[in-house]
Amino acid sequence: METVLTRPSAAPVIQALRSIGYNANTAIADLVDNSLDARAVKIHINFAYGESDGMITISDNGSGMDEEMLQTAMNIGSKDPRAKRGANELGRFGMGLKTASFSLGKRLSVLSKKDGVYNERCWDLDHVSECNEWQLYTKIPADVRTIMGEIESESGTIVCIDKLDRFMGYGGKRKLKETSFYNKVARINRHLEFVFHSILEKSEVEMFINGKEIVPWDPFMRYHPNTMEGEMQMLRINENRIKVQYFILPHASHLTEPEYKKAGGYKGWRDHQGLYIYRENRLLYFGDWMGLFPKDAASQLARVRIDLPNAADSDWQVDIKKSGINLPEDAKRRLEAISSIARKVSRDIFYFRTQPGPRNPSIKGSLNTWEQSGSEDGPQFILNRNHPILSELLKNLDDENAKLLNLYLKFVQLGSPSNIIDSPKVPEEEVQDVPDSQKELVIQFASSMLKLNVAENEEQLYNILLTQPAFDGLNRATIKAITTEANLIVSN
């Protein structure tokens, strides 16, 4: 059958490539991927603000490119996405360098050095639009080349983007002000410390923005003694081995104010729950359950890490920006089962603080007035029939036990889940001003715990009181002050 060779017009295609859907965060992250693929261990990202224009440079000490390699890298679509990738390789389409850069500005200059020999190329979209041809400059404009400077190591690459119309409004009527420009840079920093946290933690790679080192932000709080780690599971999905592990973050009562704020991430606690999908240790997607479950406040402590090899790109439909993904049908059922467990543990901790840890190793929630039924339908919360107060009443209901019953019923009311969902974070250092009625309730409950020999020492008594939803607004210092003033002493 006869065919005819067609050539797409350069100008409209280039404009289409600029609108793939990058934002500044994902564009810079995609450019950093190229440095990592070049085995760079030092990556410097610099943002310079100017009155009429700005400049973004990304320099690394990676393997560099000779002239043929650089020419290939600057071609539009330089790799077949179906081709097998090397181990740990982050690239896929051979488009990221160009599309990410063009989403920020209209000129892309690349200076690379391999074994001491320099090579350079430059795309200028103003020129491409004017001639409507795929004309790539073999030299970088002299003024830009001077600013880019030299590559100090034997090999490495500098990527420079200017004419920043998309990033800061170059050439338009409304140019970004300097303060807004650097606020945007700060947001990019937060994104990179998140997206590349696993790579920065596990390798010798160092990244810097405007000379300041990027410190990895671990969304799973693995350093904290109260974080719960689920067992690592290996799933085989369409011939690819996928690692899955859930993490349950500590209840707010186990965190200092700075820890609580930092763990919430830049989206907040509720919007950081869910699946975290990594490809070769680089975060691709996070922030929801991808249709498996809806978000809810009680599941905000649950974060599930999924690690993919780059060979799984097709199955998971990884897009050019490396920020969009779809769950394969074969993965949904197994991920739903693992996530369901994580969500249940999160709800237990969120509502009842039933979290083991060094601060409270022996109290596991047996004193809660409510428990989750474990059923998806019908009542979600039921009375705890194993509560020590209730157990004592069942043995022998007399006048004394009638008082315990009244106390227990108070806690049924105050411990209702609808009353404890949005408990405020309270400062730990100072004694709070507490109404006499609440003080009396603390004293009554503490006295009952001592009488029933549930608490063996003062510290355990404080932990018992702090795990009660009725006292969710009280800190440790206040609990201690109330019990001390009432002269409540644990007998050994």
- Looking at the fold, whether 452 and 322 belong to one and the same domain comes out as no
In a domain, 359, yes or no: no
Q: How many domains does the chain have?
A: 3
The domain boundary residue, chosen from 307, 326, 352 = 352
State both tokens at 205.
């790679």
**Which structure tokens are listed for 298?**
């009680």
Domain end, chosen from 311, 326, 352, is at 352
Q: Which letter does DSSP use for residue 60 in this model?
A: E
Q: Are strands 42-48 and 206-209 parallel, antiparallel or unpaired?
A: parallel
Helix (H), strand (E) at residue 400: helix 399-414
Is residue 263 within 8 Å of 249, Cβ to Cβ?
A: yes
Amino acid at site 145:
R
> Per DSSP, which regions of 293-411 are E strands?
302-308, 370-372, 381-383
- The residues facing 121 across adjacent strands are 110
Q: What is the DSSP letter of 418?
A: H
Do residues 434 and 314 share a domain?
A: no
Instruction: Give the mean model confidence (pLDDT) for residues 194-204.
Output: 92
Give mean pLDDT, residues 445-456: 82
The CATH code of the domain that includes 257 is: 3.30.230
Query: Do 339 and 298 reside in the same domain of the chain?
Result: yes
Q: What is the rounded CA–CA span in Å between residue 349 and residue 337?
A: 19
Question: Which of 379-406 are b and which e, b meaning 16 or more Cβ less than 10 Å from the residue's Cβ?
Answer: ebbeebeebbbbebbeeeeeeebeebee
302: Cα separation from own chain's centroid: 12
Query: Looking at residue 343, what is its pLDDT?
Result: 93
pLDDT tens-digit series, residues 420-433? 444 455 666 788 88
State the Cα torsion 200-206-210-212 to the nearest 10°. Answer: 80
* Residue in 382, 408, 383 with CA at minimum distance from that of residue 393: 408
Q: Which residues contact 364 (CB under 8 A, 6 or more apart)?
A: 354, 356
- Residues 145, 50: one domain? yes
Distance of alpha carbon 482 from alpha carbon 440, whole angstroms: 9
Predicted local confidence at residue 82, as pLDDT: 36
d(CA 367, CA 470): 12
Give backbone dihedrals phi and psi of 79, rounded to 5 degrees, phi first.
-135, 150
**The residue type at 79:** K
Angle at the Cα of 236 from the Cα atoms of 230 and 238, rounded to 5 degrees: 140
Q: What span, in angstroms and rounded, lies between the C-alpha atoms of 291 and 302?
A: 16
The letter for the amino acid at 48 is A
Coil, strand or helix at 461: helix
φ, ψ (nearest 5 deg) of residue 55: -150, 140
Does residue 274 have a pLDDT over 80?
Answer: yes
Q: What secondary structure letter does DSSP report for 137?
A: B
Contact 331, 400 (CB under 8 A): no
Q: Are residues 345 and 383 in the same domain?
A: no
Cβ proximity of 157 and 151 under 8 Å: yes
Three-state DSSP at 192 gives helix
pLDDT at 386 over 70: no
**pLDDT for residue 361:** 39
Residue 144: inside a domain: yes
Residue type, 217: W
Q: Are 134 and 98 in contact (CB under 8 A)?
A: no
Predicted local distance difference test score (pLDDT) of residue 322: 52
Residue 362 within any structural domain of the chain:
no
Q: Give the model confidence (pLDDT) of 142-178 as tens digits.
A: 999 999 999 999 999 999 999 999 999 998 888 899 9
Q: How far is CA 336 from CA 135, 274, 292, 345, in A?
A: 50, 11, 6, 14
Nearest to 293 by CA among 248, 336, 234: 336
- List CB contacts of 239: < 8 A, sequence separation 6 or more: none
The last residue of one of the domains, among 181, 213, 245, is: 213
In a domain? residue 361: no
**Lowest mean per-residue pLDDT among 197-201, 303-307, 442-446:** 442-446
The CA distances from residue 172 to 100, 131, 168, 176, in Å, are: 20, 22, 9, 10
pLDDT at residue number 127: 95
Same domain, 24 and 170: yes
Residues 198 and 323 in one domain: no
**Mean pLDDT value of segment 313-323:** 68
- Whether residue 492 is contained in a domain is answered as no
Longest dimension (CA), the chain: 101
User: Does 107 have pLDDT greater than 90?
Assistant: yes
Residue 223 lies in a domain: no
Judge whether 104 and 27 are in contact, CB under 8 Å: yes
Domain residues for 427?
A: 370-485
